[in-house]
């Protein structure tokens, strides 16, 4: 078996265990049993033990989210459409993520510190994704691409986490949000 396949199998098993028992109750033994591997094999791939395994599984799930996001926005013809599709997808993905909601309800003290540590990395992923996606022709005059990506990534994450008055399940409202609060504010970004 290829090392990448074993690593993936361990991460999938960890995710399944966390879904079943939560973060706090998942052990390396549980993961080994779920993956049908020995504990020694788990430690060979994750020498830092359970803590490293949990961090890696959270990162793995974040990466899977971004792969799905990339697919969800692939057909966008403009930057505005990309932002609309990204908001619709991300909101739905967070709302429908059963494991995330279960952990936030049952053991937020375990997950929230990890998410805080990863939040800047997630924002950097979003900014890099946007930077690669915005056509130069759609940049407002005088706005550097990096500044645009930084600003929009922060705003997107803010709205996904706390949409305020916006209904992120309603395409018309998302379109209005993108036009009035994201794109309109870009002129002030430098």
pLDDT tens over the chain, length 190 residues: 567 799 999 999 999 999 898 888 899 999 999 999 999 999 999 999 999 998 899 888 888 888 898 899 988 988 899 999 999 998 888 888 888 777 777 776 766 666 666 677 788 888 988 888 888 788 777 888 898 889 888 888 888 878 889 999 999 999 999 999 888 887 677 6
Q: How close are the terminal C-alpha atoms of the chain, in Å?
A: 50
Overall domain count for the chain? 1
Residue 86 counted as domain residue:
yes
List the domain range (segments joined by +) for residue 135. Answer: 75-188
Whose structure tokens read 């396949």?
5
What pLDDT does 111 receive?
63
Residue 55 counted as domain residue:
no
Rounded CA-CA distance 137/81 in Å is 15
Non-local (6+) Cβ contacts of 38 within 8 A are 32
Q: Which of 26-40 are b and which e, b meaning 16 or more Cβ less than 10 Å from the residue's Cβ?
A: bebebbbebbebeee
Residue 8 counted as domain residue:
no
C-alpha torsion 147→168→138→122, nearest 10: 40
Residue 67 counted as domain residue:
no
Residue 5 counted as domain residue:
no
Q: How far is C-alpha 121 from the chain's CA centre?
A: 10
Residue 94 counted as domain residue:
yes
What pLDDT does 169 receive?
93
């Amino acid at each position: 078996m290829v090392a990448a396949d074993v690593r993936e199998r361990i991460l999938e098993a960890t995710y399944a265990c966390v879904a079943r028992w939560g973060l706090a109750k998942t052990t390396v033994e549980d993961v080994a049993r779920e993956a049908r591997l020995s504990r020694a094999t788990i430690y060979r791939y994750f020498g830092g033990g359970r803590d490293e395994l949990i961090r890696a599984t959270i990162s793995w799930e974040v990466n899977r989210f971004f792969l799905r996001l990339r697919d969800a926005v692939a057909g966008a013809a403009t930057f505005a459409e990309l932002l609309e599709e990204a908001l619709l997808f991300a909101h739905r993905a967070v709302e429908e993520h059963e494991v995330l909601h279960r952990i936030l309800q049952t053991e937020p003290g375990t997950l929230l510190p990890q998410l805080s540590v990863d939040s800047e990395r997630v924002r950097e992923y979003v900014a890099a994704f946007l930077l690669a996606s915005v056509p130069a022709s759609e940049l407002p005059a005088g706005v550097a691409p990096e500044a645009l990506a930084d600003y929009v990534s922060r705003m997107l994450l803010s709205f996904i986490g706390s949409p305020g008055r916006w209904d992120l399940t309603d395409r018309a409202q998302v379109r209005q949000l993108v036009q009035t609060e994201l794109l309109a504010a870009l002129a002030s970004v430098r």
